[in-house]
Every structure is written in structure tokens, then in C-alpha cells.
Structure 1
Amino acid sequence: MTVLYLEDFTPGQRFAGGTRIRIESERAKAFAAEFDPQPFHLDEGAASVSIFRGLAASGWHTAAVTMRLLVETEFQPAGGIVGAGFEELRWPTPVRPGDELRVEGEVLEVRPSKSRPEQGVVKMRTSTFNQWGEAVQVSVGNLIVQRRPS
């Protein structure tokens, strides 16, 4: 894959991944047990009477899967995918065991850094979808990207 510098990005540019990751029940429960041990992520019975009406993977599990999927797209910024923070992070639809997730990204804004001339910021919307095309995570984040060496 080609490494992209700040100058290679333009607003409206899109990146999609062909890779899909299937969410397995046991892996979702193991993630939740370690990082988000709430009953609706761990136990089918408790989940059935929760707001989710069934077992739901942790949003943080979805975020970790999204990162993995994003790394496998053509979105290959120089210096790696280095986050400077999120302006938005939503989980509009719960992720269920058996869901197959895929990711798409869109560049919203590109701006050189005023204080660090060797880098800039790419604002990007990253959307994660299940197998039915429903958005399960939407984020808008600012990423630090290196400028092309002179």
C-alpha cells in the first residue's frame, strides 16, 4: 500500500476496506469481562431485559475492531494513524454476536499545522457498518499526518 502524506489528502476523499470482521459471542464477552464488565455485555439473560433486548458487544470493542479494520484500508497516512482526539463518537446501532463489520472513511478537512510545519491534521469521518449496511459506529476525529519531506 502507498503511504500518503498530508498533501495527498483532499476533502471528500473516501477510503473503504474490503476486510470484514465477524463478532463472535465469546470474544465479545471476553473483551467486556476485561474492559467493560456490564451485564448486558456478559450475560444473555441480563441482556434480554436491558435496553438492548439482547447481548450487545461493548462500544469499546466496536471501536477496537474499527481501528483494526481502518488499518487494513488504503488509508495509510505517513507516520501511522495517530489520533489527536475525537469531535464525535456515536454507536447508533448495537453490535450483536454474529455481526460482520466493515469500515468506510471520508476526509472532511485537511489543514497544515501552524506550529509544526512538518505535519498537519486530517479530519476524518469513520463509519463502521454491519452486514445489513446499518451504521454501528460513527466517529469524527482529527489525525496527525506528516507532510511530504522537502
Structure 2
Amino acid sequence: MKYLEDMVVGTKAAFGRYEVTREEVVDFAAKYDPQPFHLDDEAAAKTHFGRLSASGWHTCAMTMRMLVENLTGENHAGLGSPGLDGLRWLKPVYPGDTLRCESELKEVRPSRSRPEMGSIHSELTVFNQHDEPVLRMNSIGLMATRPKE
């Protein structure tokens, strides 16, 4: 198990693989972001996107899936997240794209008021199959400290 004390500032990681499907783009948009350029090919063709594109929030959800799979695989003592800073959608995500993540750990901060936990701050970038960045954010994760023997 990886605890807060095991985290090293400057650590970089590359992980995830998510294939974006048209069906998923339309289903997500119909439920959560029903703008025409996420739902309809003709409407999307008339916009600056040029074709059907995923909602930025859908891109966030796909990113979250890759993050959780990575953390679970590495057996982190994660405790959720209080949020994120600086979310930017840099480029549209389209059906047929394949996404992946790269992160760099920027800060490890023990809690002053709760000694059993702390926070980790990472810069996360999501790339498409052309190595173009499509999303960037600064994520904050809560993590348990090593249990005292």
C-alpha cells in the first residue's frame, strides 16, 4: 500500500487508455450536456468543432476513469478529493480518439489538523492519439498517512 509518506514530489507517471465511442459521446451528452454539437452530426458540422465532439465534462469523466484505474492498480491509500484547480479543455475530443494521461506530482502536504491524512497536488494532462493535449488540470487528492504501529 502506498501512503502519503511514500509520495515524492517530481514523480511523473503515464497511464490509461480510453477509446472514445460515438455512442458514449451521444449518450453522455443526452443525459448531462444536451448541446446540439454533442448530439447531432449536422449541427456539429456547422460549428467550429466541425463534427460531433465529446462534452468537456465527458472528457473529465473519462479522465476520472483512467485516474481511478491507475490508483487502484498502484494500491494507493486514497481518500477522495476536495476538488481541482485550473481545469482547461485544450482541444476537442472526438469519437474515435484514444485518450491517455500523464501526471507530475507537484506537492505533498500533510494535514495540520488531521494527522491521519494529507493531500497530494498533481498536474495532469490528457492527450489524444496524436499526442495533442486535450485537457489539463491541477488535481488534489486526499491520502492516508501510514498507520502508526
1:38 CA displacement: 0.4
Query: Which amino acid is the alignment partner of residue 22 of structure 1?
Result: E
| 2:101 paired residue number | 103
Unaligned runs of 5+ in 2: none
- Which residue in the other structure is 2:28 paired with? 31
TM-superposed deviation, 1:77: 2.5
Correspondence for 1:78? 77
TM-score (norm 2): 0.92
8 Å contact kept, 2:121–2:140: yes
How far apart are the structure 1 equivalents of 2:137 and 2:6? 22
| Percentage of matched positions with identical amino acids | 47
Q: Which residue of 2 aligns with 1:120?
A: 118
Amino acid of the structure 2 residue aligned with 1:142:
I
**In the alignment, what sits opposite 2:5?**
7
More helix by share: 2
Q: Which deviations, in whole Å up to 9, do the C-alpha atoms of 1:121-143 show, x marking residues without a partner?
A: 10011111100001111110211
1:47 aligns with 44
CA RMSD of aligned residues (A): 1.3
Is 1:134 aligned with 2:128? no
State the SS of the aligned residue for 1:11: coil
Moved segments of 4+, more than 6 Å: none
Looking at structure 1, the residues matched to 99 and 43 of structure 2 have their Cα atoms a distance apart, in angstroms, of 25
Change (3 A) 1:91 1:53: same
In the superposition, the TM-score normalised over structure 1's length comes to 0.92
How many residue pairs get matched?
A: 146
Partner of 1:68: 65
